[in-house]
Structure 1
Amino acid sequence: MPSLTPDAPHRLSVFLQEQSAQRGFNRVVVGLSGGLDSAVVALLCHRVFKQNCHALIMPALTSSPQSQDHALLLCERFNISFSLAPIQAYHQLFNQDHPQASLTRQGNFCARMRMICLYDHSLTHQALVVGTSNKSERMLGYGTIFGDLACAINPIGDLFKTQVYELARMLDVPLEILEKKPSADFYVGQSDEADLGFSYVQIDPLLFEISQRWAHTKQIDCALLVQLGYDPLLVKKIVGRVQQNAFKLEPPLICKLS
């Protein structure tokens, strides 16, 4: 895995500044979960937009209380403008209508409710929605279409999770956030790496190899990856996820009749 260069925060800041200006915005809004990725994006946005950067903290019924604590810690330490916009009431209504819904269904519903809140804030305050999904999550399909994957621009969408950790250290993300297990926070105790079966330190070199060698997921050669030294079980599981979820990164397909 290539390491980030020291000028990475500056280059990402320029990206945010230029792309927001091209779209006619001088304000941005970020969904702040209390996790690493959203903390990094919030700090990048705050560097560029100062008080024109706003964070929405949107806990659900199943969110860990620690997540809100960490989001508030980040905002208070770096003087980031924020609002608490809990979605528990919407979550409760969903559960009442769908009492048998799995935690994954509930998590997807909550991700889309957060997207609604972000875009409502965007319209109300003329603020561009900035995304927080990293490349590892995007390649693995570890995100909700029209939920946490929805945004206007995304400064970390081409950074693997291990690179986001590097960036977080450059930006002085609090240790409380930096050292906790990555989680989508679908429920208390949920962990990305437990769900995936491997750590990002194991996964990211494989994802990088795939991204460098093949433009289309159907072309991935698992036998070659094993020959290159990657664990066969890792290859089988991760390549399967990448291929199965590739559609999440594609724009909606439109049928052309002429």
Structure 2
Amino acid sequence: MNLNMQKVTEDLVIWIKEQLKSSGGNKIILGISGGKDSSVAAALCALAIGKENVYGVLMPDGIQQDIEYAHTLVETIGINQITLNLENVTSAFKDLLNQAVDEDFVEDITKQTSLNLPPRVRMTLVHALSQSINDARVINTGNLSEKWIGYTTVYGDNTGAFAPLAGLTSDEVMDLGIYLGLPDFLAFKAPSDGLTGKTDEDVIGFSYEVLNKYIRTGEIEDQKIKEKIDHLHKINEFKFKPIPSFPSPLPVIGK
């Protein structure tokens, strides 16, 4: 099932312009990891509103082995860029979490808590910067594959004013990056979160190739993997739904 990349690009550029205008913004800011999602999103935004209006923030947490990929990509796209190391901030948060353990507020700090902390700090920083850049909006760079299984952090990389890549699988995003003329290494760089030292596929336990085929065709050979994907999809749907709000018991007339 192949996409017409020219049409997809043209449609996305129009959509980004419309979403930005409806949000009251005229600039875009996003975190740049060096992976395909943030790179393709940045390139699309540069096409839509001009590279001078796109701001990329590189946010290693200490030493990030693949940070040079991120530098190469932002230089290729030509957007505004800054590198801000989060190590001191995440360390301060960990000190507070450990204090909660010491005072018996929680029994222990889980591995998942530690893994999700940097993405939340990253997006706090990006949103803070957006408020200091007039009319800038933060975009969500996640793709459909990650969304499908909930491989995203609530109030971390799952946030943003709008999500241009949310309808494209990981391999479709990669193909779009190649079409947009991004560096070739983008196609061969294994997706990773830049935090665990592992690839995404090592963490989730199956390949994106299998997942993407299942999403688009419903076909899958390994029943155990199918059950795992279905389970992940079901328990993570809440991440992509509006926050449930109790209806007002009184009339709302100010509309």
User: Which residue number corresponds to residue 20 of structure 1?
Assistant: 20
**Which whole-Å deviations, capped at 9, do the CAs of 1:3-33 have from their partners, x for residues lacking one?**
3443211111111111111222111101101
Structure 2 contact 57–83 (Cα < 8 Å) conserved: yes
User: 3-state DSSP class of the match of 2:61?
Assistant: coil
User: Which residue number corresponds to residue 165 of structure 1?
Assistant: 174
- Say if 2:191 is the partner of 1:182: yes
With 197-206 and 98-107 compared, the bigger mean Cα shift is at 98-107
Counting matched residue pairs gives 238
- Say if 2:111 is the partner of 1:110: no
**CA shift at 1:103, angstroms?**
4.6
- Say if 2:241 is the partner of 1:232: no
**Which whole-Å deviations, capped at 9, do the CAs of 1:32-74 have from their partners, x for residues lacking one?**
011110010011111122201110111113x6321x2111111
Partner Cα distance (2:215, 2:141) in 1: 19
**Which whole-Å deviations, capped at 9, do the CAs of 1:214-251 have from their partners, x for residues lacking one?**
xxxxxxxxxxxxxx653212211111111111111111
The 1:97/1:209 distance shift into structure 2, 3 A limit, reads same
Letter in 1 for 2:208: Y
User: Which residue number corresponds to residue 192 of structure 1?
Assistant: 200
User: 3-state DSSP class of the match of 1:238?
Assistant: helix
Structure 1 unmatched runs, 5+: 211-227
- Say if 2:237 is the partner of 1:253: no
User: Which residue number corresponds to residue 221 of structure 1?
Assistant: none
Task: Give the structure-1-normalised TM-score.
Answer: 0.86
**Which whole-Å deviations, capped at 9, do the CAs of 1:73-127 have from their partners, x for residues lacking one?**
1122232211112211111112333456455322311111111111111111120
The 1:205/1:174 distance shift into structure 2, 3 A limit, reads same
Structure 1 contact 4–166 (Cα < 8 Å) conserved: no
**CA-atom RMSD in angstroms:** 1.8
User: Which residue number corresponds to residue 38 of structure 1?
Assistant: 38
**Which whole-Å deviations, capped at 9, do the CAs of 1:176-198 have from their partners, x for residues lacking one?**
332111111222x2111111222
Structure 1 contact 135–160 (Cα < 8 Å) conserved: yes
Partner Cα distance (1:51, 1:181) in 2: 29
Show the 5 A alignment for 1:19-168.
19-49=19-49, 50-61=51-62, 64-66=64-66, 68-98=67-97, 101-125=109-133, 126-168=135-177
Letter in 1 for 2:53: N
Partner Cα distance (1:4, 1:90) in 2: 43
Structure 2 contact 139–161 (Cα < 8 Å) conserved: yes
Identity of matched residues, %? 27
- Say if 2:213 is the partner of 1:205: yes
Structure 2 unmatched runs, 5+: 99-107, 250-255
Structure 1 contact 103–186 (Cα < 8 Å) conserved: no
Please point out which of 219, 227, 241 is paired with 2:232.
Answer: 241
Structure 1 contact 91–106 (Cα < 8 Å) conserved: no
Letter in 2 for 1:60: D
Partner Cα distance (1:193, 1:4) in 2: 27
Partner Cα distance (2:117, 2:147) in 1: 19
**CA shift at 1:129, angstroms?**
0.8
The 1:145/1:80 distance shift into structure 2, 3 A limit, reads same
Letter in 1 for 2:221: Y
